[in-house]
Amino acid sequence: MRSISILGATGSIGASTLDLLRRDKGKWRVVALTANGKATELAALAIEFDAEIAVVADEARLPELREALAGSSVEAAAGSQALCEAASRGADITVAGIVGCAGLAPTMAAIRKGGAVALANKEALVSAGDILLAEVERYGATLLPTDSEHNAIFQCLQGNNIADVNWITLTASGGPFRDWTMEQLRAATPQQALKHPNWSMGAKITVDSATMMNKGLEFIEAHHLFPVGLDRLRIVVHPQSVIHSMVEYRDGSTLAQLGPSDMRVPIASCLAWPERMNTACKPLDLPAIGQLTFFAPDEERFPATRLAREAVQAGGAAPAVLNAANEVAVEAFLAGQIAFTDISAKVDRMLSRAIPSAPATLDEVLAVDAETRALTRKMLEHA
């Protein structure tokens, strides 16, 4: 029996992970489950999987969590410190699925226990890549990429020498607005942005997919995870989302990982690594799919990938600024405060300011994040 903790148990990554565990409960012991504010849902999951502890980030929801757990053996806790303490309990594998920079500290706490961390929180690598990877090495942790694209690259690199890589290609669906004109994009609504053609994801990541910022963040992630150099990383729009990423080697061979648009596939790859496990995912039917198409990204209509590339090239705190400003801008768009095209425009404006030097500690990363959020909100107020 292996032990597991899931940070972000009520989100889309958590739901997919628990679905896999549910199919073979006898092989898993659940240590910790966490959520942001869905206390009742979290309690039900903690009871179902007999977790040791359930933690809700919103301290105001602690009474609700305790009431929902009444009569069970599950411990209840709340707050940011409790999230880190839960992640520090140690598990054979921790699934880091908390969205945004809020997941940075708990993810780092799990890494410092030296186990395996299935990383689905892309913001951790974007904002604190060098710091996080240094901690992975220091504590002997195993970092397993869970994003479908990075997991695909990880699989394509197995048994090969990274020095033999010519190109790493991240594929992008292009989102729901792939074929829209600039005029249409300016009038796009949150409801339209949340209708992804291929994937079922949370609101923030779905909007990021629509702006292509999701792919920009993944570009930065890939830079940290697979050190081939920025000039050997590229993005290709692939509307069918069948090929999740590709690795081209110097002998001309290109390896691609294909699979259904279902996050249970890359999650299962991490949970079973270095072996394989069964999933209930529907297998690919290539004749039914018919054709696979590819396009170069249009950075005039979707400048987010350019902004991400420029941020990682600039270095310093620029990636952390990019991430924080984008989170605030996406929140404002979802709240109806700004237009869809303003998301990338606001991020661009924040990156045009003086950028702090590279943060050296987690606290410095969080300070850059907090300052950027405050400045972005102030800018939005005076827009």
| Crossing angle of helices 342-351 and 362-381, rounded to 10° | 120
Question: Dihedral (C-alpha) 133, 135, 139, 145: value to the nearest 10 degrees?
Answer: -40
pLDDT of residue 382: 80
Provide the residue type at 208 as one letter. D
Residues forming beta bridges with residue 248, ordered by sequence position: 167, 254
Structure tokens at 351: 């990156």
pLDDT band at 196 (very low <50, low <70, confident <90, very high): confident
Q: 198 pLDDT exceeds 80? A: no
For residue range 49-74, what is the model confidence (pLDDT) as tens digits?
A: 999 999 999 999 999 999 999 999 99
Q: What is the pLDDT of residues 214-249, one digit of tens each?
A: 999 999 999 999 999 999 999 999 999 999 999 999
3-state secondary structure of 76: strand
pLDDT at 319 over 70: yes
Summarize the chain as % helix, strand, coil (round to 5): 50, 15, 35
CB 237 within 8 A of CB 292: no
Average pLDDT score over residue span 279-303: 95
Report residue 383's pLDDT band, with 50, 70 and 90 as the boundaries.
Answer: low
pLDDT digits (tens, 9 = 90+) for 79-98: 999 999 999 998 999 999 99
Does the pLDDT of residue 197 top 90, yes or no?
A: no
Two structure tokens written together for 184: 């249409």
Section 186-191 average pLDDT: 96
> How high is the mean pLDDT of the chain?
95
- Tell me the C-alpha distance between 258 and 238, whole Å: 12
The answer, yes or no, to whether residue 117 has pLDDT greater than 90, is yes
Least confident of 99-108, 227-236, 250-259: 99-108
**Residues 328, 380: contact at Cβ < 8 Å?**
yes
Instruction: Say what the pLDDT of residue 201 is.
Output: 77
User: Residue 123: which pLDDT band, with cuts at 50, 70 and 90?
Assistant: confident
**pTM: predicted TM-score of the whole model, two decimal places:** 0.93
Q: Please give the Cα distance from 259 to 279 (Å, whole number).
A: 12
For the chain, the domains span 2-146, 150-314
CA distance 269 to 155: 9
Distance CA 299, CA 303 (A): 4
Is the peptide bond between 274 and the residue preceding it cis, with omega within 30 degrees of 0?
Answer: yes
User: What's the rounded Cα separation, in Å, for the pair 13 and 96?
Assistant: 9
Q: Does domain 2-146 have CATH number 3.40.50.720?
A: yes
